[in-house]
């Protein structure tokens, strides 16, 4: 176990962190005011808020790294490679923008004007306009389908003719690429709550680097998986392989994949209301195949983003020549991405190279120098990518904001409108911290809710950069 600490850990607090506990001389303190499970964006946001209040806090992280699904590889390629979350959506209001700038993180606009590839040519302006108009119509159809009616799978809300020409592309663009799940598997109502993501930015040093830098002044115990939380009384006991930590409040930011798999036991069991909510919030599948292609064999520009016109789900997203380097990134997602990742790195790399050859010609396999793939579904303390709600699961996000005695939940699944994003995870962590502080002060109010009205389909899909990688949306046709 490694404990990182900086200036906020001083005096008796530092002594407590270094003191052996129980039979294992591992450095866990006996107790703390607030224990936080997970050192991703939500956990670090919560820890910063708790530490700023003057209360004692300790983050328990199962892996050896800070950042969670914000993970940056700075050594493999000539530029930082984000293995997980990549964009900071809605740069004008994203809560991470100001902390990033204060931490000397260089932010750049996400690429704009994403292109669509049709076989070995770029889509013509009219073809792109047709697809964008179809996206707007699809959102209108989903809104009408669930207005005053029970929720349904997003795909069932779309008329059949929507899927005739652009079906594979529409499913990938609105479903797998945005949520990690195919449209047939996710809630139409939840998809419609997603707040606008434009304009978007990214960190030149990497989003994982940003989260790690923001964690410098909070105590984090690395390589310390939590196995059980006893929460029946006013306080809680957090059990780890390094010992047991007593806490007056516990903020759980572990992924819904980990929680649904029962990797953290709760004593007593969580109430049925919370268990049902968790079961309806799954993790989509998104993985990345990174290819070092010296000499620009694809003939593309810096940070060039592409999707393709596809008739099925065997498709991907390309971000070429990252930061002007030779790093090209191919994202696979949804059920196809999940199945492909299960076959291993060799199969993933083979698909990426063949997909690029199909779209751009030549033989990129001859040019490739180095490859790296992610496999988030197999990461034991994550078990997937971003949050997605099953049909009927949209209310589950709000349910998880409800405190349970000393227990609070946070993470990218616990935000009603910014789910699946680092910004949403950050806000949920701050909200959980505020609720925990109210509990410590004797107040019993729950977490503040996001009361902003949901955007219309026109507002939500006027994107010029964001989860789309920059596909510019036209005005709606009427």
| Nearest-angstrom CA–CA distance, 452 and 447 | 15
List, in sequence order, every residue forming a beta bridge with 109; answer none if it has no partner. 201
Q: What are phi and psi of 307, to 5 degrees?
A: -120, 180
Q: What does each of the 478 residues of the chain score in pLDDT, given as a tens digit?
A: 444 433 233 222 322 332 222 222 347 999 999 999 999 999 999 999 999 999 999 999 999 999 999 999 999 999 999 999 999 999 989 999 999 999 999 999 998 767 999 999 999 999 999 999 999 999 999 999 999 999 999 999 999 888 899 999 999 999 999 999 999 999 999 999 998 888 999 999 999 999 999 999 999 999 999 999 999 888 999 999 899 999 999 999 999 999 999 999 999 999 999 999 999 999 999 999 999 999 999 999 999 999 999 999 999 999 999 999 999 999 999 999 999 999 999 999 999 999 999 999 999 999 999 999 999 999 999 999 999 999 999 999 999 999 999 999 999 999 999 999 999 999 999 999 999 999 999 876 555 554 343 443 333 433 223 333 334 333 333 2
> Taking the CB of residue 107, how many other CB atoms lie within 10 A of it?
18
Sorted by sequence, the CB contacts under 8 Å of residue 442 that are 6+ apart come out as: none
CA torsion sign, 70 to 256 to 254 to 410?
positive
Determine contact, residues 431/169, Cβ cutoff 8 Å.
no
| Nearest-angstrom CA–CA distance, 101 and 89 | 15
| Nearest-angstrom CA–CA distance, 210 and 121 | 37
pLDDT of residue 7: 28
Query: Distance between alpha carbon 131 and the CA centroid of its chain, in Å?
Result: 26
Which letter does DSSP use for residue 19 in this model? S
Determine contact, residues 470/113, Cβ cutoff 8 Å.
yes
The alpha helices in 194-308, defined as continuous H runs, are 207-214, 256-260, 272-279
Query: Distance between alpha carbon 150 and the CA centroid of its chain, in Å?
Result: 27
| Nearest-angstrom CA–CA distance, 410 and 11 | 30
pLDDT of residue 385: 97
Element (H, E) at 134: helix 125-146
DSSP-derived secondary structure for 440-461: HTT----PPP--PPPPPHHHHT
Closest of 66, 93, 58 to residue 195, by C-alpha: 93
pLDDT of residue 113: 61
Q: How far, in Å, are 65, 198, 283, 396, 403 from residue 376 at the CA level?
A: 15, 26, 10, 23, 29
pLDDT of residue 444: 60
Closest of 402, 405, 404 to residue 414, by C-alpha: 402
pLDDT of residue 23: 25
Q: Nearest-5° angle of CA 329, CA 111, CA 389?
A: 70
DSSP-derived secondary structure for 154-191: GGGGS-GGGGTTTHHHHHIIIIIHHHSS-GGGSBHHHH
């Amino acid at each position: 176990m490694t404990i990182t600490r900086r200036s906020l850990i001083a005096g008796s607090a530092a002594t407590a962190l270094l003191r052996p506990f129980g039979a294992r001389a591992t450095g866990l303190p006996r107790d703390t005011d607030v224990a936080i499970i997970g050192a991703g964006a939500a956990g670090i946001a919560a820890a910063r808020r708790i530490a700023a209040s003057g209360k004692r806090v300790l983050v328990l992280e199962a892996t050896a790294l800070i950042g969670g699904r914000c993970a940056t590889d700075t050594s493999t390629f000539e530029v930082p490679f984000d293995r997980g979350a990549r964009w900071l959506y809605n740069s004008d209001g994203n809560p991470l923008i100001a902390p990033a700038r204060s931490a000397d993180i260089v932010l750049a606009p996400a690429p704009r004007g994403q292109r669509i590839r049709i076989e070995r040519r770029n889509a013509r302006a009219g073809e792109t306009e047709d697809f964008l108009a179809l996206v707007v119509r699809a959102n209108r159809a989903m809104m009408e389908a669930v207005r005053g009616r029970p929720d349904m799978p997003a795909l069932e809300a779309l008329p059949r003719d929507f899927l005739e020409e652009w079906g594979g592309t529409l499913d990938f663009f609105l479903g797998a690429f945005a949520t990690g799940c195919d449209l047939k598997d996710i809630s139409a109502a939840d998809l419609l709550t997603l707040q606008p993501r434009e304009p978007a930015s990214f960190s030149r040093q990497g989003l994982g680097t940003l989260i790690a830098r923001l964690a410098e002044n909070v105590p984090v115990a690395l390589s310390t998986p939590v196995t059980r939380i006893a929460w029946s009384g006013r306080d809680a006991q957090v059990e780890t392989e390094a010992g047991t930590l007593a806490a007056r409040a516990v903020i759980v930011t572990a992924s819904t994949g980990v929680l649904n798999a029962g990797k953290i036991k709760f004593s007593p069991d969580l109430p049925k209301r919370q268990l049902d909510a968790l079961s309806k919030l799954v993790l989509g599948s998104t993985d990345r195949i990174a290819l070092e292609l010296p000499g620009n064999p694809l003939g593309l520009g810096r940070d060039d983003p592409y999707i393709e016109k596809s008739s099925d789900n065997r498709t991907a997203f390309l971000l070429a020549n990252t930061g002007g380097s030779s790093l090209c990134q191919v994202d696979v997602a949804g059920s196809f991405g999940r199945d492909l990742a299960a076959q291993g790195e060799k199969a993933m790399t083979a698909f990426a190279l063949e997909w690029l050859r199909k779209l751009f010609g030549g033989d990129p396999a001859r040019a490739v120098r180095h490859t790296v793939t992610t496999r988030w579904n197999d990461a034991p303390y994550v078990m997937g990518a971003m949050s997605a709600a099953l049909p009927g699961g949209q209310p589950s996000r709000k349910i998880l904001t409800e405190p349970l005695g000393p227990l609070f939940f946070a993470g990218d699944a616990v935000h009603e409108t910014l789910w699946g994003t680092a910004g949403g995870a950050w806000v949920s962590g701050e909200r959980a911290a505020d609720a925990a502080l109210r509990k410590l002060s004797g107040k019993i109010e729950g977490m503040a809710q996001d009361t902003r009205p949901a955007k219309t389909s026109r507002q939500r899909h006027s994107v010029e950069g964001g989860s789309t990688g920059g596909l510019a949306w036209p005005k709606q046709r009427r």
